[in-house]
Each structure stands twice: as C-alpha cells, then as structure tokens.
C-alpha cells in the first residue's frame, strides 16, 4: 500500500475535485461518517464515569479547515445516533468559512452549538472520548500556535481517550516530526491513503475510504485500489492489549 507526502496528497485531492468532479463536501461526508463509526467503536470499549452511563459523551475539537469540517460532520452523525456531543472550535463560529462552515450550519440547525471558549477544558476533561479534528495534513510553517496549540495542550492534559482524524494534530504529515505540541492519540483514522509521517506514530492506525476512484491515483503513478469489498474502513496497525487486559 503506498504512502504519500502532504504535497502528493494535495495533488490527489486537486485531481479528484478539478478533473473528476468529486465534491469536497462529498469527501468530507464520507470522512465524517467513517470517523463517527470509529468513535462509536471506541466508546463501546472505553470505561466511562458514572455521569456518562446514560448517554456517551464525545467532545470534538474542530479546526476551521477541511479537517475541522470532517470533525463537525462526525459530530452530526454521533448526534443522529443519540450520543451527547460537545463541539469546541479553534475559532469563533462566525470566522469558520468554506465547507467547514456548511457543516457547522447543519450541526447548529440540529441544535448542537459550539461550547464557549472558557468551557473547553471541562468539555475535554469530562468526555468519554475526545476527537481531534484540528489540523490534519495541512500543517505548514512550523508548530501549532494560538488557540490550536492551547487545545492540543488541553487534550494531552485532560483527555482519557483520543481519536485523531487523518493524523494527530501537530504532526508533519510528510516527515513524521512534531515541531511543537502534538496530540497524543490512541487511534488515528487517516483518509484515502496513509501519510508517510504516520509510519512511527504510536497508537492504532486505520484507513478510511472517502470515495476517491483508483483512476485518480493512477494519474500520479500510484498503484492503489481499495483492498476490501465489504468495508469502508480497515485497520493498518493495531496495538495489542497489554497482559491481563480484557479482550
């Protein structure tokens, strides 16, 4: 299975959209639904405090770009299935634009409003699962800064279980280096193709199909077709349970 750099992945996305007509919202919907399925699977095995026994509580950390849009879409799917969902934005809601703004508008129409900035720590600390959808493979220009860096720190300090979308926020998708703070994820759901920077990242690694035809990859000399006829998400690397842990 090929792994790609950030620049190669951007070219995959460009060809899919510009030459094949695949919509960004289509791919985002596929990403968000796969992310929600992974979240539900993790919640099924995660210990929960008593106050969460009557409804799992997931907190989504959403950036303002495509990765954040996937997280917001995931929040809707979790909400649709009756889970209590909290959303923490890296920007004010009015400053979210593009496809992420579309996802936020739909979510707000369903009655899910982002929490206030000062409530972020509590939302992370009490969540059964925190979903990291802050940056994705678009990290450029060094370490995360400002509100994004603050949310990564809060996540690493207070979250018990973390699921990252595409790659842990703060990780360079090409080199695997972290120039600053980086989310420590228990599981990462990467999209379309593995990224070269994920090779040595700790935790479980899953791959999600977001609907890109194999002919898109062929344009770039990549030989890849989805390896499963029955599943839209497959494990690439799992971490064995520690001795004595429940199966």
Segment 170-219, tens digit of pLDDT:
999 999 999 999 999 999 999 999 999 999 899 999 999 999 999 999 99
Q: Does 139 score more than 70 pLDDT?
A: yes
Q: Domain coordinates of the chain in residue numbers?
A: 6-237
Residue with the larger pLDDT of the pair 48 and 200:
200
Note the pLDDT of residue 49.
66
Residue 241 pLDDT: 42
User: What is the sign, positive or negative, of the torsion defined by CA atoms of 31, 3, 218, 11?
Assistant: positive
Interhelix angle 66-80/98-109, rounded to 10 degrees, is 20
Measured between alpha carbons, how far is 123 from 8 in angstroms, rounded to an integer?
Answer: 36
pTM of the model: 0.92
- The whole-number pLDDT of residue 244 equals 38
pLDDT tier, 50 (very low <50, low <70, confident <90, very high otherwise)? low
Tell me the per-residue pLDDT of 55-114, one tens digit each, with 9 for 90 and over. Answer: 678 999 999 999 999 999 999 999 999 999 999 999 999 999 999 999 999 999 999 999
pLDDT given for residue 239 in this prediction: 60
Architecture per CATH, 6-237? 3-Layer(aba) Sandwich (3.40)
Q: What is the pLDDT averaged over residues 156-175?
A: 96
State how beta strands 129-133 and 233-237 pair: unpaired
Residue of 138, 207, 193 lying closest to 170 (CA atoms): 138
pLDDT in tens, 8-43: 999 999 999 999 999 999 999 999 999 999 999 999
Task: Supply the pLDDT for residue 116.
Answer: 96
Q: Would you tell me how many other CB atoms lie within 10 Å of the CB of residue 41?
A: 14
Report the pLDDT value the prediction gives residue 46, as an integer from 0 to 100. 63
Please give the residue that has the higher pLDDT: either 118 or 136.
118
Give the chain's mean pLDDT: 91
pLDDT at position 109, please? 97
Q: How far apart are CA 166 and CA 42, in angstroms?
A: 16
Tokens of 120: 């972020």
- Whether residue 245 has pLDDT greater than 60: no
Q: How confident is the model at residue 12, as a pLDDT?
A: 97
């Amino acid at each position: 299975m090929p792994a790609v750099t950030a620049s190669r992945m951007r070219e995959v996305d460009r060809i899919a959209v510009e030459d094949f007509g695949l919509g960004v919202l289509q791919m985002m919907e596929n990403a968000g639904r796969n992310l929600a399925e992974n979240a539900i699977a993790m919640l099924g095995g995660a210990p929960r405090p008593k106050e969460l026994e009557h409804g799992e509580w997931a907190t989504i950390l959403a950036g303002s770009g495509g990765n954040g849009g996937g997280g917001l879409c995931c929040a809707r799917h979790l909400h649709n299935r009756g889970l209590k969902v909290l959303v923490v934005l890296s920007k004010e809601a009015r400053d979210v634009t593009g496809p992420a703004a579309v996802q936020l508008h739909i979510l707000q129409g369903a009655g899910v409003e982002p929490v206030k900035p000062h409530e972020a720590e509590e939302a992370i600390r009490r969540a059964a699962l925190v979903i990291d959808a802050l940056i994705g493979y678009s990290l450029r220009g060094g370490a995360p800064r400002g509100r994004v860096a603050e949310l990564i720190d809060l996540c690493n300090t207070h979250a018990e279980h973390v699921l990252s979308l595409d790659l842990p926020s703060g990780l360079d998708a090409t080199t695997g280096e972290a120039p600053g703070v980086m989310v420590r994820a228990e599981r990462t759901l990467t999209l379309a193709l593995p990224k070269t920077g994920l090779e040595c990242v700790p935790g479980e690694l899953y791959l999600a199909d977001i609907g890109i035809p194999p002919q898109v990859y062929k344009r770039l000399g990549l030989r890849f077709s989805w390896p499963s006829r029955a599943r839209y998400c497959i494990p690439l690397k799992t971490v064995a349970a520690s001795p004595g842990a429940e199966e």
